[in-house]
A and B are shown apart, each in its own frame.
Chain A
Amino acid sequence: MRRFLPTSLIARIALLVAAALFVAQAINFGLLLHERQRARFALVIAPATTRLADAAERLLVLQRETPRQPGAAKNRFLSDPRTHVRLHTDNPFVGETDRRRPDVERDLRRGLEDAGLHAGTIMAALRPVNPKRLLDPKLDPLRAERLRRMGAEMLVAVELPGKGWLTLATPWPRTEFDLIWQLAAQTLILYVVVLVPVLLVGGRIARPLRTLTDAARTFRPGDDTAPIRERGPSDVRALIAAYNALGRRVTSMLDEKDRMLGAIGHDLRTPLQALRVRIESVEDEDDRARMADTIDEMSRTLDDILSLARLGRPSEPNTDVDLGALVDAVVEDFRDLDHDVTFEEPERLKMRLRPTLMRRAVRNLIENAVKYGGGAEVRLIPEAERVTIEVCDRGPGIPMEKLEAVFNPFTRLEQSRNRDTGGIGLGLALARAIVNDAGGTIALANREGGGLTATITLPR
């Protein structure tokens, strides 16, 4: 049920207003109906009961005057032109039972009893006027006019116990239909008059909100997009202004971070370079090589830290790249260093990404595989919607519970992947950040038969 409810602000307001209007109209309708019923009682039922009571009284009088000739009383009663009340021995309206109206019957009984007439069965039926009947020349024109206007006829049969049935047909106002149509039209007008402005105003509020949502969703600090124009009602405008200010604050904080990282990088790189120059005077060849390696590793870590920290605002633009050739180039670099890395270069696979960064991500994965597994099998699997790069090794793998944790910067697995063989665990964090930036995902899984598979999935 819940999911059928509209979720947007404007739809909810409109629905609420519509529901409120409907309830108000329903109450109006109830009150109106009650009023109509009272009016009907006064206009139709009261005269009808009066006539019936009057007729019953006359019949009683006539019977008293001619006690021994029952037929004579009836004839005299019927020949009286003052009334439309008829006398029957049996109920003539049995065929109309479908159209009986118990509420009208109740009203009639109440009216008759008020007039002192205790009737037996009372039957009242409503029958729409047949238009053909109105054309009948025998019909009194005044009555025809009334029937036409009222639209319906009430047929009443009242049993006088032991004397037969008194019947009466009288025009009946067909108000219910009119009332419903009237009310429906009224409601419609009300809806148009109220809901159209509500929707218009809602749209005016919702549009800037939507723009704001889009802007927030695509927000990239430092990409120099113009601030959003402040429009709409004042509170929405205040929200947009606050958002713009937030964006500026985030951008300036990141700028600050970049500047600081640049300074750190420079300040650390300089002593590293000084050290690198000075070790040339170390006599022992082995010692010197080891020192150089250490310095290189520190420098790489420094680069990783700087890249990771800067990744939110990559300076490299997206370009069209052959991803197959990209992976192949990385693999080839490892092969040139005599590492056992296999890769079957696939067909040309054009992708739009930041090549240097993606190269870095793939390189970090292969580097891990080579470091811990002694080699890597690399596969590139193009599919319709995505591209998967798999880097598999036959190393010790990673305990299940640590598979996610290794992506966090500076996470190291003390047992199997220790300081001797491992860096400081920035490689995976950087790879994940790069791949996420490209809209993809990266995951690790232990392989059957030992080893690890790192998978990069990129949308095409």
Chain B
Amino acid sequence: MSEVPHLLLVDDERSIREPLAQYLTKQGFRVTQAGDAESARARLNAYAIDLVVLDIMMPGEDGLSLCRHIRETSETPVILLTARSEETDRIVGLEMGADDYVVKPFSPRELSARIKVVLRRWSAGGAKQHAPETGSFAFAGWVLRTGERTLVDREGVSVPLSTGEYNLLHALVTRPRQVLTRDQLLDLTQGREAAAFDRAIDNQVSRLRKKIEPDAKNPSIIKTVWGGGYTLAAEVTRL
């Protein structure tokens, strides 16, 4: 990756694509635009693209199909732009290997923040570490499904989580046996959703424990690390 990350912005709507490209350029990215899947493929071949921002709803070949193509041919991370009501698109998109998604109408700031997170993760983890945060994770009898954002217990009953709880659990589950400080957790959980989230991490953790621990007073899944923070002590299996 060069000094300035090179983004490919694929959206058929000029009214969105152009000002967004302008904004992202101002944020310090190099932005190449494409109005359809075909020109996107051409640009992908022509440039060393660091990340693709991809609109799912496009006439002709749609974003999902292009996403699949990118995943098959390269390691370039993808962020999908989806409509809120098309939940299935989102799930399919993540299954297809997209790294993240933002829901329209999104704030350009949020998109920019997500791009940075994905790029950071990307450069830290190197290649072959695709979509480490999506899919389903099994731990201690629970399954966390990131596509539907649900937690399912042994009996297949889903236990809905608040946005904050979900983000926290997601952060822990994707980093099992790592000690995460409160600051790290705040950073990780705030980055994902625009929803204000400034309640103490401790509070969230104790609520989560009530929901998932067999004995909340004597936690075995989310453990407190003395002086450090929290860690997920259970074995995590990606499904």
Residue among B105, B109, B211 having the largest count of chain A Cβ atoms under 10 Å = B105
User: What string of 1s and 0s marks CB contacts (under 8 Å) between B121-133 and chain A?
Assistant: 0000000000000
When chains A and B are docked, how far (Å) is the Cα of A66 from the Cα of B153?
126
B202 at the interface (CB under 8 A from A): no
Q: Is A336 within 8 A of B108, CB to CB?
A: no
Distance to closest chain B CB from A220 (angstroms): 19
- Choose from B16, B57, B196, B207 the contact partner of A277 (Cβ within 8 Å): B16
Q: Is B57 within 8 A of A266, CB to CB?
A: yes
Number of interface residues of A (CB under 8 A): 45
B46 at the interface (CB under 8 A from A): no
Q: Is B23 within 8 A of A320, CB to CB?
A: no
- Choose from A266, A306, A316, A336 the contact partner of B162 (Cβ within 8 Å): A336
Taking CB as reference atom, which chain B residue is nearest A319? B158
Chain A residues with CB under 8 Å of B100's CB are none
A325 at the interface (CB under 8 A from B): yes
Chain B residues with CB under 8 Å of A337's CB are 195-196
Of residues 100 through 137 on chain B, the ones whose CB sits less than 8 Å from some CB of chain A are 104-109
- Choose from A277, A307, A329 the contact partner of B165 (Cβ within 8 Å): A329
Q: Is A355 within 8 A of B158, CB to CB?
A: yes
Q: Is B105 within 8 A of A336, CB to CB?
A: no
Please judge, given known A-B contacts A326-B160, A332-B162, A332-B164, whether A277 and B23 are in contact too, CB under 8 Å: yes
Distance to closest chain A CB from B34 (angstroms): 17
B84 at the interface (CB under 8 A from A): yes
Please judge, given known A-B contacts A325-B160, A332-B165, whether A303 and B85 are in contact too, CB under 8 Å: yes
A321 at the interface (CB under 8 A from B): yes
User: What string of 1s and 0s marks CB contacts (under 8 Å) between B75-117 and chain A?
Assistant: 0000000011101100000000000000011111100000000
Taking CB as reference atom, which chain A residue is nearest B19? A277
Number of interface residues of B (CB under 8 A): 38
When chains A and B are docked, how far (Å) is the Cα of A272 from the Cα of B57?
15
A265 at the interface (CB under 8 A from B): yes
User: What string of 1s and 0s marks CB contacts (under 8 Å) between B201-225 and chain A?
Assistant: 0000001001100000000000000
Please judge, given known A-B contacts A273-B104, A336-B196, A336-B199, whether A328 and B15 are in contact too, CB under 8 Å: no
Distance to closest chain A CB from B237 (angstroms): 22
Q: Is B157 within 8 A of A333, CB to CB?
A: no
- Choose from A273, A274, A330, A332 the contact partner of B106 (Cβ within 8 Å): A273
Please judge, given known A-B contacts A276-B106, A295-B105, A303-B84, whether A355 and B197 are in contact too, CB under 8 Å: no
- Choose from A265, A274, A295, A316 the contact partner of B83 (Cβ within 8 Å): A265
Distance to closest chain A CB from B158 (angstroms): 5
Q: Is A277 within 8 A of B108, CB to CB?
A: yes
Chain A residues with CB under 8 Å of B207's CB are 332
User: What string of 1s and 0s marks CB contacts (under 8 Å) between B152-181 and chain A?
Assistant: 010111111111110000000000000000
When chains A and B are docked, how far (Å) is the Cα of A337 from the Cα of B150?
21
When chains A and B are docked, how far (Å) is the Cα of A350 from the Cα of B105?
34
Chain B residues with CB under 8 Å of A335's CB are 199
Residue among A274, A320, A331, A359 having the largest count of chain B Cβ atoms under 10 Å = A274
Distance to closest chain A CB from B192 (angstroms): 13
When chains A and B are docked, how far (Å) is the Cα of A356 from the Cα of B150?
10
A301 at the interface (CB under 8 A from B): no
B188 at the interface (CB under 8 A from A): no
Q: Is A328 within 8 A of B162, CB to CB?
A: yes
Enumerate the 9 nearest inter-chain pairs by beta-carbon distance, A residue then B residue, closest first.
Answer: A332-B162, A274-B15, A326-B160, A320-B157, A329-B160, A329-B162, A276-B105, A325-B159, A277-B19
Cβ contacts A to B, 22 pairs, < 8 Å? A266-B83, A269-B83, A273-B16, A273-B104, A273-B105, A273-B106, A274-B19, A278-B19, A280-B19, A281-B19, A299-B105, A306-B85, A316-B87, A321-B159, A331-B162, A332-B164, A336-B195, A336-B196, A337-B196, A345-B210, A355-B150, A355-B160
